[in-house]
Amino acid sequence: MIAEIGRFALSLALALVLAQMLCALIGTRRDTAIWEALSRRAVALVFVSLAASFACLITVFVQSDFSVENVFMNSHSAKPLGYKIAGAWGSHEGSMVMWCAGLAGYSAALAHFYRGPLATRALIAAGGVLVLFLVFTIFASNPFDRMSPVPLEGRGLNPLLQDPALAAHPPLLYLGLTGLLAPFALSVAALWRGRSGKEWAQAARPWTLAAFTALTVGITLGSYWAYYELGWGGWWFWDPVENASLMPWLLTAALLHSLVVSAGRNALTGWSLFLSISAFSLAMLGLFLTRSGVLTSVHAFALDPRRGVLLLSILAVAGGGALALFALRAPNIFKEKVKFDPVSREGALILNNALLTMAAAIVLLGTLYPLILRTASGDDVAVGGPYFELTVGPVMALALLILPVAPFLRWRRGGWREARRRLLYGAIGALAALAGIILIARDAPLGAAVTAALAIWVMAGALSDFATQRRQPGTLGRGLAHFGVGLFLLGAAGDTGFSIERSTALTRGESFEAAGRTVTLETVRRADGANYLADEGVLTVTGAGRQFQMTPERRYFPTADQTTTEVALRRSLLGDYYVALGQARERENGEIAWVIRASNHPLVWMVFAGAFLTATGGLVSTGSHIRRRRRPS
């Protein structure tokens, strides 16, 4: 019965959103408040209906109702309650309901908080997007489909997804990606109405900040999960699905900086409109990449070309339609004649935008190139880290050089004097860090040294910005976000440039040296969980005047016939000591030896702390912006 209620709620949401669009459309023609009010109420009901449908989906997972095919494929009665709940969004079908609920939630929030002249048309645009995804979910990816006969047990959730960080990662990531619907809908409304000036940019800015904040947290959680769960010690692999979330993040960051000019100076409006449409289009492209099976990834939800074609069609209709409207209005949009010197705050923000957009384009090309080549010639090729590091790295380095300078440049009028005065010590510190690393740590990669110098430069600029302009609204959020970027860079430089790794096979009582410490395998014992079998290694680590134990695990999930790695971490301010337990090997003398991989990761905590600090800055800026909007004139 619960599944039928959930299915009905999905269908009801589709009917309600169609009614909402009709009411809003009549409101634009007759310009009467009653139709607009009906539209707003219908938007709220759409969200309630989809929230109820998602609650029903969670309920059938908690109840282990294996008559529902989605539950059978992604759950198991022995699974802990938290992961039963996570199973509701751990599949393609369930994640689509969560996606639709996110779109409806932002539409309802837009209807409640924004009452400007673009509101009615924005709700029509948002409703149109939601209709496309609801039709796809109901008819091609319905999570409430029954199966017969009813199996006694389910197959279980992918073991890699049975982790607290990854259980929280999809909701937060989707909160960011679906949040891009709001600036997208406002952009379509502005283009439709033919009024895309300062008012549009001011309306779009808080929604962009909110989406950026959630997207940053979601990506960071996924990166942290990869670091400690996959067992290889890295936090970014340039995986196609990782890139699918990075591309909208880069364009959202560019949009935030562009909206500063559009909202404050009534300039770059056309560019801001283009970025808002492109960012949400790339979010929809990410859905296609993760669900079509055209690209291989550990993060992919589904391998279904038929549904991939349907998602690509949605992208073509929604994203392509918005871009077509943008092209139609372009002659009027780009008539703006705002003059400013190249060396000004506008000039710095434009250059920042160009570099971030270029980085997103490079990532897009590297991600899609294997697919394009396979389609054109049938050849398979892998585009990995070296390509992205050699192409994206220099572009982002230039963007980071500009980042601390922009706040100290004047609007419209040029001049380096204030920026030179405020950033002198930051520049000296960055150059000293670069020279010190090159001279002292001669074996360190040049890229790590440059990254560390950029980190000092960005953090010094953020501190100087806050100290100088702390009385200005929004400075605290901007300073936190920029300081977080610098902290992230410092952690990345330490981990990628100075980490040391060694692996070997040990029997009980044997030791080996790894990253300045002695690792001794004491024993390997059983440590079974509720739905898995586990071998737990007990290791004694000695070095730097300290001795401690570490207990990495190797878990086997019988229902999925899959093995995962649970690493052991010893954390400190200087970094992490990281130990993973690998496969057992039989030696010639019959002894069982276990592969142990040990490594140090200097300053790696700064990678995640910096990303979360950047998200905190976005959250503070969102709150500051909302308070200013509510303050009486």
Q: Tell me the CATH number at 599.
A: 2.60.98
513 contacts: CB under 8 Å, gap ≥ 6: 502, 519
Q: How many domains does the chain have?
A: 4
CA dihedral in degrees (445, 447, 451, 452; nearest 10)?
Answer: 20
Check residue 630 and give its pLDDT.
58
Check residue 361 and give its pLDDT.
97
Among 59-68, 114-123, 329-338, 380-389, the range scoring the smallest mean pLDDT is 329-338
| CA atoms in the 13 A half-sphere facing the CB of 348 | 22
Check residue 115 and give its pLDDT.
87
Among 255-264, 383-392, 423-432, 440-449, the range scoring the smallest mean pLDDT is 440-449
Check residue 100 and give its pLDDT.
97
H helices present in 230-267, as ranges: 240-265
Containing domain of residue 540, as a range?
Answer: 500-603
- Regarding whether 131 and 40 lie in a shared domain, the answer is yes
pLDDT at 125 over 80: yes
Q: Which of 139, 162, 185 is the last residue of a domain?
A: 162
336 contacts: CB under 8 Å, gap ≥ 6: 266, 267, 269, 270
* 362 falls within a domain: yes
* 8 falls within a domain: yes
* Omega before 171 within 30 of 0, i.e. cis: no
- Regarding whether 22 and 154 lie in a shared domain, the answer is yes
Q: Is 438 exposed, middle or buried (0-12, 13-18, 19+ CB in 10 A)?
A: middle
- Regarding whether 513 and 432 lie in a shared domain, the answer is no
* 33 falls within a domain: yes
Of the candidates 174, 129, 98, 150, the residue with the CA atom closest to the CA atom of residue 17: 129
pLDDT at 129 over 90: yes
- Regarding whether 510 and 480 lie in a shared domain, the answer is no
* 378 falls within a domain: yes
- Centre a 10 Å sphere on the Cβ of residue 604 and count the other Cβ atoms it contains: 25
**Alpha-carbon span 278 to 319, nearest angstrom:** 8
Map residue 436 onto helix, strand or coil.
helix
Map residue 530 onto helix, strand or coil.
coil
- Regarding whether 505 and 492 lie in a shared domain, the answer is no
- Regarding whether 205 and 114 lie in a shared domain, the answer is no
pLDDT category of residue 303 using cuts at 50, 70 and 90:
low
- Regarding whether 576 and 511 lie in a shared domain, the answer is yes
* 330 falls within a domain: no
**Alpha-carbon span 340 to 327, nearest angstrom:** 26
**Alpha-carbon span 7 to 143, nearest angstrom:** 8
- Regarding whether 492 and 356 lie in a shared domain, the answer is no
Check residue 595 and give its pLDDT.
95
Higher pLDDT, 252 or 239: 252
Check residue 633 and give its pLDDT.
40
Higher pLDDT, 376 or 248: 248
pTM recorded for the entire structure: 0.94
Q: Which of 111, 144, 162 is the last residue of a domain?
A: 162
Q: What is the mean pLDDT of residues 237-262?
A: 93
- Regarding whether 303 and 272 lie in a shared domain, the answer is yes
Among 21-25, 369-373, 446-450, 503-507, the range scoring the smallest mean pLDDT is 369-373
* Residue 395 in tokens: 């572009």
- Centre a 10 Å sphere on the Cβ of residue 267 and count the other Cβ atoms it contains: 25
Of the candidates 511, 515, 520, 528, the residue with the CA atom closest to the CA atom of residue 566: 528
Check residue 313 and give its pLDDT.
95
Check residue 471 and give its pLDDT.
67
* 278 falls within a domain: yes
Check residue 504 and give its pLDDT.
94
Mean per-residue pLDDT of the chain: 90
Q: What percent of the chain has pLDDT over 70?
A: 95
Higher pLDDT, 134 or 475: 134
* 397 falls within a domain: no
Of the candidates 198, 217, 220, 206, the residue with the CA atom closest to the CA atom of residue 256: 206
List pLDDT tens digits, range 68-99.
999 998 888 888 888 899 889 988 899 999 99
- Centre a 10 Å sphere on the Cβ of residue 504 and count the other Cβ atoms it contains: 17
Check residue 632 and give its pLDDT.
45
Higher pLDDT, 189 or 372: 189
Q: What percent of the chain has pLDDT over 90?
A: 62
Q: Is 544 exposed, middle or buried (0-12, 13-18, 19+ CB in 10 A)?
A: exposed
Q: What is the mean pLDDT of residues 177-196?
A: 92
* 124 falls within a domain: yes
Q: What is the mean pLDDT of residues 329-336?
A: 77
**Alpha-carbon span 363 to 289, nearest angstrom:** 14
- Regarding whether 152 and 26 lie in a shared domain, the answer is yes
Higher pLDDT, 629 or 256: 256
Check residue 336 and give its pLDDT.
62
- Regarding whether 465 and 363 lie in a shared domain, the answer is no
- Regarding whether 310 and 284 lie in a shared domain, the answer is yes
Q: What is the mean pLDDT of residues 442-462?
A: 91
